[in-house]
């Protein structure tokens, strides 16, 4: 073989600035999650829809001159028109105003139930998973006992025994609603508590509260957020179902559930009374579900590039 002369070899020019330049900026975990979530068009449409619903829930009742509690027996069951945009009900009340007033109640119930489930579930599941042993056994067996009680039966009993109202309804929803959140948090903590950074924090003398608040809970935020977004529409649907059974919010308060319950018997002749609250219930549940699906995909480390 012919030997290649050394004169043909030239040393490559090295530019220190180019060598040290980062070709692609590093992304934090949450920034990467945000970018991938924004690429999900269905999830972003859910965000837009939810923003519109929240805007109308805040300002919708003020867009007309009618009060959601005022009866007008001279204008009962009027179809949608320029005067009454969503029509009127059997007592002559403006359905548009009542619809957005009901949005406040329904969304308040959903958000309140989800936040209470979040607080109790994270604390219960975090302590159970971190302590382990007998503590974990006792705490989770107690949760299993509550889980074994028929949910609907428990809710109906509480609504019948206690005074009917918003507080009673939220209590009835959350008395067992936190168990699913607790189980998810417990499972995550059981996996994370043996990680090196947790053992290092324990070796350095960090308290249980600091380890939970600084290391364990922040690293379980993905499943927590996804579960919470799915808890809200479940609570809204439960409120609508209880209202259909006559256990909804008391008069003169309005919610989507009570409006749907009142509009169902008159659906054949006055369909607008059921159409608007039922449609908004469906849209709200759809918005939260697609947001939850988008968060689940964005937080999945297997999909991270």
DSSP per-residue letters across 121-159: HHHHHHHHHHH-HHHHHHHHHHHHHHHHS-HHHHHHHHH
Q: What is the crossing angle of helices 256-263 and 221-244, to 10°?
A: 30
SS3 state of residue 85:
coil
- Look at residue 34 and tell me if it is in a domain: no
Q: What is the pLDDT of residue 9?
A: 66
- Average pLDDT for 139-168: 80
Most confident of 57-71, 112-126, 148-162: 112-126
pLDDT of 278 > 70? The answer is yes
pLDDT of 137 > 60? The answer is yes
- Average pLDDT for 191-208: 82
Q: Give the pTM.
A: 0.80
- Residues 241, 156: contact at Cβ < 8 Å? no
Query: Poorest-confidence range of 153-162, 204-213, 271-280?
Result: 153-162
Q: What is the pLDDT of residue 92?
A: 84
Query: Poorest-confidence range of 53-62, 72-81, 118-127?
Result: 72-81
- Look at residue 5 and tell me if it is in a domain: no
- Look at residue 23 and tell me if it is in a domain: no
Q: What angle do CA 250, 255, 261 make, to 5 degrees?
A: 85
Calculate the CA 240 to chain-centre distance: 17
Q: What is the pLDDT of residue 2?
A: 64
What share of the chain in percent tops pLDDT 90? 7
Q: Residue 143's domain is classified under what CATH number?
A: 1.10.3720.10
Number of helices followed by number of strands (H, E) in the chain: 12, 0
Name which residue leads in pLDDT, 296 or 284.
284
- Average pLDDT for 238-242: 81
- Average pLDDT for 50-73: 87
Measured distance CA(211)–CA(250) in Å, rounded: 45
Count the domains in the chain: 1
- Look at residue 174 and tell me if it is in a domain: yes
What band does 245 get if pLDDT is binned at 50, 70 and 90? confident
Q: What is the pLDDT of residue 17?
A: 59
- Look at residue 285 and tell me if it is in a domain: yes
Range of the domain at 216: 40-54+96-299
Measured distance CA(247)–CA(239) in Å, rounded: 9
Query: What's the half-sphere exposure (Cβ side, CA atoms, 13 Å) at 97?
Result: 19
Q: What is the pLDDT of residue 302?
A: 57
Can you list the positions of beta strands (E) in 54-97? none
- Look at residue 180 and tell me if it is in a domain: yes
- Look at residue 66 and tell me if it is in a domain: no
Q: What is the pLDDT of residues 4-59, one digit of tens each?
A: 676 666 666 656 555 555 555 666 667 877 888 888 888 899 999 999 999 999 99
Q: What is the pLDDT of residues 168-196, one digit of tens each?
A: 888 888 888 888 889 999 988 888 888 88
Q: Can you say whether residue 246 is alpha, beta or left, with left for phi > 0 and alpha for psi between -120 and 50 degrees?
A: left
Provide long-range contacts, Cβ within 8 A and 24+ apart, for 143-147.
143/179, 143/182, 143/183, 146/175, 146/176, 146/179, 147/176, 147/179
Query: Poorest-confidence range of 18-32, 175-189, 213-227, 257-271?
Result: 18-32
Measured distance CA(103)–CA(46) in Å, rounded: 17
- Look at residue 63 and tell me if it is in a domain: no
- Residues 87, 78: contact at Cβ < 8 Å? yes
What band does 226 get if pLDDT is binned at 50, 70 and 90? confident
Our CA dihedral for 238, 160, 183, 202, rounded to 10 degrees, sits at 120
């Amino acid at each position: 073989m012919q030997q290649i002369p050394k004169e043909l070899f030239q040393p490559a020019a090295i530019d220190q600035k180019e060598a040290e330049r980062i070709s692609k900026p590093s992304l934090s975990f949450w920034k990467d999650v945000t970018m991938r979530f924004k690429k999900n068009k269905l999830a972003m449409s859910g965000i837009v829809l939810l923003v519109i619903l929240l805007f109308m829930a805040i300002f919708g009742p003020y867009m007309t001159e009618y009060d959601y509690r005022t009866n007008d027996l001279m204008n009962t069951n009027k179809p949608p028109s320029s005067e009454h945009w969503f029509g009127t009900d059997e007592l002559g009340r403006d359905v548009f105003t009542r619809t957005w007033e009901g949005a406040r109640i329904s969304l308040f119930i959903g958000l309140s139930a989800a936040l209470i489930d979040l607080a109790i579930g994270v604390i219960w599941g975090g302590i159970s998973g971190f302590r382990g042993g007998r503590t974990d056994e006792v705490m989770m067996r107690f949760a299993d006992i509550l889980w074994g009680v028929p949910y609907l039966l428990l809710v109906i009993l509480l609504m019948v025994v206690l005074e009917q109202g918003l507080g009673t309804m939220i209590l009835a929803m959350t008395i067992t609603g936190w168990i699913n959140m607790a189980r998810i948090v417990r499972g995550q903590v059981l996996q994370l508590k043996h990680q090196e950074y947790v053992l290092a924090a324990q070796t350095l003398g960090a308290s249980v509260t600091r380890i939970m608040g600084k290391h364990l809970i922040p690293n379980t935020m993905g499943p927590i957020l996804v579960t919470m977004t799915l808890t809200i529409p479940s609570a809204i649907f439960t409120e609508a179902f209880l209202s259909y059974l006559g256990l909804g919010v008391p008069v003169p308060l309005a919610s989507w559930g009570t409006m749907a319950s009142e509009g169902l018997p008159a659906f054949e002749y006055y369909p607008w009374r059921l159409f608007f609250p039922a449609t908004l219930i469906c849209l709200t549940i759809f918005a939260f579900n697609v947001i939850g699906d988008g968060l689940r995909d964005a937080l999945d480390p297997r999909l991270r590039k």
